[in-house]
Structure 1
Amino acid sequence: MQVNMHEAKTRLSQLVEKAEQGEEVLIARGGKPVARLVALEIPPVLERPLGLLKPVALEPNFRERSLEALGAEELTEWHGP
């Protein structure tokens, strides 16, 4: 479907509805198409969190074992003097 600029201004809501229904709307100036109105293709919403937001299961004593692996100097830097 092709409409002129004035008609596009007047009927914008109707033209957007047509675009949402899959119709391509060309907007013309002086009979020459200058713009195209089409529906956006919105990607589906992810059903699970992205990697950094995904819950991670840790061993029950993970923190203690991690601290044991550090040397005395590193522990001092971590916790302070």
Structure 2
Amino acid sequence: MSTTANVHEEKTHLSRLLKRAHDGEEIILAKSGRPYARLVPLESTPARRQPGRVTGRVEDAFFESLPEDELDAWEQ
């Protein structure tokens, strides 16, 4: 469900509108009676990266130089 709010009337209540949008309500901001913008909640942010979360090791071969033909392919 969406609610339309006039920017001129609601500018002093922005924090209230943000709270309603954060709670899941879609707010349509109107300017001079015409839809102008939409306030919607952001998608949840991904979890922060945590070093050491994945187990395993990198083999020594990982650090060896690539063959010349592969290096040439990267430079093209």
Tell me the CA shift for residue 55 of structure 1: 6.2
Which residue, out of 5, 8, 12, partners 2:7? 5
Structure 1 residue identity aligned to 2:16 = Q
Q: 1:27-62 CA deviation, whole Å, 9 max, x = no partner? A: 001111010011110333056549xx9565479xx7
Provide structure 1 residue ranges, at least 5 long, that are not aligned to the other structure. Answer: 63-81
Q: Identity over the aligned pairs, expressed in percent?
A: 41
Which structure has more relative contact order (CA 8 Å, sep 6+)? It is 2
Regions of 4+ moved over 3 Å: 46-50, 53-59
Q: Secondary structure at the match of 1:28?
A: strand
Bigger CA radius of gyration: 1
Which residue, out of 37, 40, 45, partners 1:38? 40
Q: Which residue of 1 aligns with 2:18?
A: 16
Q: TM-score normalised to the size of structure 1? A: 0.55
Q: What value does the CA root-mean-square deviation take over the aligned residues? A: 3.1
The aligned length equals 58
Provide structure 2 residue ranges, at least 5 long, that are not aligned to the other structure. Answer: 61-76
